[in-house]
Amino acid sequence: MTEPNDTPTFTKKGKLNARYYDRELATLQDELVRLQYWIRAENKRVVVVFEGRDAAGKGGTIKRISECLNPRAASIVALGTPTEREKTQWYFQRYAAHLPAAGEIVMFDRSWYNRAGVERVMGFCTDEQYEEFLRACPRFENLLIRSGIHLIKYWFSVSAEEQERRFQSRIHNTAKRWKISPMDLESRERWVEYSRAKDAMFEYTDTKQSPWNVVPSDDKKRARLNCIRHLLSQFDYQDVVPGPIKLAPRKPEVGYVRPPVSEQSFVPDCYTPPETQA
C-alpha cells in the first residue's frame, strides 16, 4: 500500500484541492487493480456494503472504486423494491443470491440493512420483522464470514446542512434530477427518525466480527479517498499484476479490399477541429 502523494492541499473553503485529488485517486485506483488481481489469484470472496443517508456520497465512491476494475469480477448490486414473491421469501434470500464466487468482489449499494433503515422508518415492515432482523443480521453476517467471505461495511455520514445542499443541487441540475426520488424527499422530513434507526442498527450490528466503518462525507473527495485507502488496508495483498504483453508485428492485410466508404452510414462528426475543415 502506497503512502499519500505529497501533502494534501485544500481550497479556501477547506475542501480537498481538485488537482491533488485527481492525482491521489489515480494512485489508489492503480492499487485497486492490483488488489483485484490478487483476489482473483487467491480465489478470495469479498463483499463490501455501502450504507448511509440519501445523498451521503455512496454512489460516487462506488463509481470511483469500480471504474478501473474488471466488471466480470467486480459487480455492483443495487436492488429495487422487492417483488410480491420476494416479499414472501426469507428476508436475506434475495441478497444471498448476489454473493460472490471465488475471485469476485461484490459491492452492495444499499443492502439487507434496508430493513433497519427505510423499511423501519417508513413502516414497510412490521415490528416483528424489524426485531427479527436485528436478532438475525449478526448471525447471518457471521455465517458469511465463517464461509470465508471478507465482509466490509461502510456507513457514509453526512450532515443535515450538506445533505440539503446536495438535494438542492440535484433539483436544479437536469443531469442529476433522477437521483432524487419521492422517498428521498420523505427521508428529508424524517431526519430524526432515521438518526434513531441508525443508532439502533449500530447497537445490534456493529460487532467485533463485522464492525461498521464510518466515513465522514461532507467533503465527497476526501470521503472517497479515505474509503478507498481503508478498503485497500483490509487486505495483505501482493502485486501479482502480469507484466506488459509484447505484441508481435501486425500481419499485412493481403488480399483484403475495404468496401466503399460511401456505402456505410457514419455518425455525424460535430466536433471536427477547425484546421481540418475545408
pLDDT tens digits for 193-213?
999 999 999 999 999 999 999
Tell me, what CATH number does 199's domain have? 3.40.50.300
Instruction: Tell me what pLDDT residue 78 has.
Output: 97
Residue 180 maps to a domain: yes
Tens digit of each residue's pLDDT (9 = 90 or more) over 55-85: 999 999 999 999 999 999 999 999 999 999 9
Closest CA to 158 of 64, 233, 50, 13: 50
Residue 229 maps to a domain: yes
Residue 181 maps to a domain: yes
- Residue 16 binned pLDDT confidence (cut-offs 50, 70, 90): confident
Dist CA 183 CA 164 (whole Å): 15
Residue 85 maps to a domain: yes
Instruction: Tell me what pLDDT residue 27 has.
Output: 97
Instruction: Tell me what pLDDT residue 198 has.
Output: 98
Does the pLDDT of residue 278 top 60, yes or no?
A: no
Closest CA to 221 of 26, 28, 57: 57
Total of domains in the chain: 1
Using CA atoms, how far residue 109 sits from 4, 79, 246, in Å, is: 27, 8, 39
Instruction: Tell me what pLDDT residue 51 has.
Output: 98
Phi first, then psi, for residue 72 (nearest 5°) are: -70, -20
Cell of 10: 485544500
Tens digit of each residue's pLDDT (9 = 90 or more) over 82-119: 999 999 999 999 999 999 999 999 999 999 999 999 99
Residue 228 maps to a domain: yes
> How large a percentage of the chain has pLDDT more than 70?
97
Please, which residues bridge with residue 154 across strands? 50, 213
Instruction: Tell me what pLDDT residue 227 has.
Output: 98
Residue 242 maps to a domain: no
| Predicted TM-score (pTM) of this structure | 0.91
* Amino acid at residue number 166: R
Residue 5 maps to a domain: no
Classify residue 54 by its DSSP letter: T
Give residue 125's domain range.
Answer: 18-233
Residue 78 maps to a domain: yes
Instruction: Assign 113 to helix, strand or coil.
Output: helix
Residues 6+ apart with CB under 8 A from 154: 48, 49, 50, 51, 52, 58, 61, 212, 213, 214, 215, 227
Instruction: Tell me what pLDDT residue 14 has.
Output: 77
Dist CA 66 CA 70 (whole Å): 8
Using CA atoms, how far residue 79 sits from 62, 96, 188, in Å, is: 15, 12, 22
